[in-house]
Chains A and B, each alone.
Chain A
């Protein structure tokens, strides 16, 4: 919310504080200043200039050459505006001036050969209006050299404050002044309303009936008659424009002014447009159509509260008035609405209609029912003053049931218990009083407050503690320099994820983190997706069903910037619907942590010592094997191969641990790659970490290392090309005793010389026993058993042993 410093100063003395000091005070009071717009700073180097002479530019038809008096010197300034003339007072941007809202800094330059030592400005260039038809010519008495801020009163400072939702009391200039008065311990000067009222009572002009008192506990109407609708005077327009509001006419401007001054939203009705001079506050009829001030039609429902006259709806309560009863140039008699609508009711309507206004914003957060009469009177005062109207006597105050004030007890001991330091009781009381939270009772241990209606956020003891802490200053809260630590065993549920990331780092992978939101088309390729009700864009309608799209998008982007050799991984959650997208309980969601490995391009760049080798399927498998070794599950791991193209992979490798599938990967299919605009081969492997977790090793056991030498024997044999190496190894293992500790395939040779569709495989067998040295004979016996079984099983021929 924008707060004007000049305006604020009406209610509290601040002249001795700098702009920065006030900003600091507001922020440490909890009214966080997000931006300071200081006109004095903006209009530094802008002065009143007097045009002494105007000549035609010798080298340009449309330019003039002016001699401008800036109070000290006579400057030569080139100007392009047709309306510039001798004898004018103008706004001169001197050398060094920064033109607001642009990057332009005025410099001394030569324009078409003539010296120009400044710039004569238009209103648009100054950011005061949209008028850019020529330069701004000032009427009245001005002195050359006078600063623009002084001359035009452009010396305001506007604080843009982020008011948190719990502080509706601070959504006005008086409200902000109240906090400052408490912070600075200074007097708060609230506006005084003294009215000269007519004899005829407001009640005689109109009648107010509340049908829905739950949504509208109080409605005050006040009448002003014989008003002349006109432009607002300068002081009022300036107040409104300073905080970015557009002046409309004296009546509307007054209602807006009071909303910003007191925080009470008001509405002005043309009394003569209200049928039967009646206001009826009631729920809308379902399907009812209503046209608001901005000429938009809305369809209402039963939970929308409407303001109606004797026949029809005239406003959406607390949100916006209707076209049919708005104040126009012909309006004479005004009914001022100053009401208290409940926040729930206004919020519901505002959300439903997608219509948020300054008024609904305040009602949603909570306004003050005890403020409505004052606001109505203040509005009547100003409208009568500015429009020569007569104020009808008294108010129509429909208030079926008075809202009681809450009493809250605050224990001094509890302050210390929560904040960790002691605040003296008289200090506590003075802080509460300075916030206009009256103390209505106290004893040695506690104080009891009556909570004013402008503080709907204060309901409990702890809420009062916050007020005391806030005004006393958070910097006064000490910070302890030691803490107690319990000695129970600590849990770290992220430790496994961290171990996995470091394991992959050691294997040379780089971690990426991608968006978890996807478009529906992609999401559904990888599983039953879950969609969001209110996506930001159509590219982000669903939660990801797989890490693959994010990875491929990343790879594609990298390739476009010529980073073509990549080995990436991501660890992240995927979301699959178990119930056709319907989510009624957590059981309908499978949210699993997954790991996706990706390799593409070459293992490394080409270097002087050799070309980089292109990544292939065996690199992928090797990396998966290395990973499984790192997490100590390599012994329980089994791979299964699927030659069928499954639309994602050309052919896939499935990873099993103890007969449970934990992962799948392979070379990506062309179709998928094309979708992501990738032309090079990509190899991916996905592991479901939540499934893998059940096999995690709890402890590691020392394996007694070998005291006795191992015996190594090699043999090679020729067999059919189709025979899978894994099969041969399993036959070798089966045929031998436990003395055989490992079998390694160390050479593959294919040649026509071996026979058609034949290949030669060479195996290395390692034998040992943990308890003794093996004899040659027993090793040979095992070795030959292995060879014989291979020969028999695969019709293989021994090439050498």
Chain B
């Protein structure tokens, strides 16, 4: 009996040392002090002893149980006290566990925003190749060979017949050649200009071309459509103006300026797009009767629009792809 008590006591003490929370303490209680626990079993064994032996061990067993119970109670009290503190220890000011977020380039976002507005106005969306023929990029669009109008768009030539498109307008040609009016579409994509890279210009940029050809298209409708776009994209109070300009493929032609007041600077007009009524020569080149059909076309620079919207003053940041820039959008 004595050995048994010693054995249980040692076992209990060993177990007690490793108890660090209430859950483990409860396991300890179940093992030793519960109704099926070792101490209770020891009592059951004690009860079965002959009387004289009971006398011999009675006190010892009782003391033993009380000692264990006291140790248990003390630890329980300590752990419970410590448990209250644990809540204070949780530091919710720590940043949460997060995942890397992805993003679309701001030019893609801008392009898709523009696209959504025009889709809601009944436009389809077409694309075409960036490497184009001189024929589609210039000739069909009423830029005669050896005409100063060609100087308006500095061109990367591949050879006499091929080039990197200088505008998305050749997609107009492709569309008009393959489909019959009514045609209403926008045509976004990359375009190239052979200019030195600076804060104001890059060797490529993104354009959204628009075209509408039908039997009753007027400049008034062009104006209404573009104003609707400007208001929806930049807000109801956007200030704009249409002024005469020149593009070989439209007549009459216009440019649209938006009023811009950069932070802390004087306000000024900023050119945002070119537009006009499709030149009859272009319609005829594409096999469309220019007496029966009229059309309008426009082309806007996506970079310009994003710069105006977000207050970016250097076009190169779009193509540097610095993570600190990308994560802003």
Contacts and interface: CB of A to CB of B under 8 A. Distances in A.
A83 B94 CA distance: 72
A470 B243 CA distance: 8
Interface stretch (A197-205, A529-537, A708-716, A744-752): A529-537
Contact of A462 (B121, B155, B245, B251): B251
A470 B94 contact: no
Interface in B150-208: 151-152, 155-159, 161-162, 164, 182, 184-185, 188, 190, 192, 194-197, 203-204
Interface in A342-395: 343-344, 347-348, 351, 364-365
A348 to B, nearest CB: 6
B243 A511 contact: no
Contact of A477 (B108, B148, B242, B324): B242
A485 B188 CA distance: 21
Given A420-B218, A530-B158, A478 B223 contact: yes
B148 A532 contact: no
Closest 10 CB pairs of A and B: A420-B220, A420-B218, A30-B244, A485-B122, A164-B246, A466-B252, A480-B224, A505-B102, A479-B223, A512-B321
Q: Is chain B's binding surface mostly helix, strand, loop or mixed?
A: mixed
Interface stretch (A61-69, A312-320, A600-608, A655-663): A600-608
Interface stretch (B43-51, B62-70, B124-132): B124-132
A563 B322 CA distance: 8
B100 A492 contact: no
A730 interface: no
A462 B281 CA distance: 10
Contacts of B129: 573, 586, 589, 591
Contacts of B155: 534
Contact of B194 (A512, A513, A534, A603): A534
A551 B171 CA distance: 28
Contact of B188 (A494, A566, A603): A494
8 contacts: A347-B146, A478-B220, A508-B99, A508-B102, A511-B108, A513-B321, A568-B321, A607-B95
Interface string A458-479: 0010110110011000110111
B148 A483 contact: no
A478 B223 CA distance: 8
Contacts of B227: 479
Given A420-B219, A603-B100, A165 B151 contact: yes
Given A165-B148, A501-B104, A511-B103, A534 B157 contact: yes
Contacts of B133: 586
Contacts of B126: 491, 493
B35 interface: no
A501 to B, nearest CB: 5
Given A347-B147, A517-B203, A563-B324, 8 more contacts: A164-B152, A513-B318, A536-B195, A557-B322, A558-B321, A558-B322, A566-B323, A573-B129
Contacts of B326: 510-512
A43 B303 CA distance: 37
A429 B149 CA distance: 29
Nearest to B184: A486
Given A480-B220, A511-B108, A573 B130 contact: yes
B102 A466 contact: no
B219 A591 contact: no
Interface string A586-615: 100101000000000001100111000000
A469 B223 CA distance: 13
Contact of A510 (B103, B158, B195): B103
B277 interface: yes
Interface in B96-128: 97-105, 107-108, 112, 115, 119, 121-127
Given A165-B246, A490-B124, A418 B100 contact: no
A502 interface: yes
Interface of B: 94-95, 97-105, 107-108, 112, 115, 119, 121-127, 129-131, 133, 146-149, 151-152, 155-159, 161-162, 164, 182, 184-185, 188, 190, 192, 194-197, 203-204, 214, 218-221, 223-225, 227, 241-246, 251-255, 277, 279-280, 294, 318-324, 326-327
A157 to B, nearest CB: 18
A269 interface: no
Contact of B147 (A165, A506, A515): A165
Contact of A491 (B124, B323, B327): B124
A563 B97 contact: no
Contact of B103 (A421, A505, A557, A583): A505
A480 B148 CA distance: 35
Given A490-B122, A517-B203, A573-B130, A532 B156 contact: yes
B152 to A, nearest CB: 6
A575 interface: yes
A517 B280 CA distance: 35
Contact of B243 (A30, A482, A494, A568): A30
B121 A483 contact: yes
Contacts of B94: 608
A346 B198 CA distance: 32
Q: Which of B108, B204, B323 has the most CB of A within 10 A?
A: B323
Nearest to B133: A586
A483 B122 contact: yes
A28 interface: yes
Interface string A565-584: 01110001101000000011
A785 interface: no
B96 to A, nearest CB: 9
B26 to A, nearest CB: 29
Nearest to A481: B224
A29 B246 contact: no
Contact of B105 (A343, A479, A506, A512): A512
Interface in A497-547: 498, 501-502, 504-517, 530-536, 540, 543
A181 B253 CA distance: 22
Contacts of B95: 607-608
B218 A493 contact: no
Contacts of A572: 190
Contact of A463 (B105, B115, B224, B251): B251
Contact of A575 (B102, B105, B131): B131
A764 interface: no
Contacts of B146: 344, 347-348, 351
A12 to B, nearest CB: 19
Q: Which of A480, A603, A604 has the most CB of B within 10 A?
A: A480
Contact of A583 (B98, B162, B195, B197): B162
Nearest to A460: B280
A495 interface: yes
B277 A418 contact: yes
Contacts of B184: 485-486
A554 interface: yes
B19 to A, nearest CB: 27
Given A164-B245, A583-B158, A515 B203 contact: yes
Contacts of A343: 147-148
Contacts of B99: 508, 604
A567 B119 contact: no
A507 B149 CA distance: 46
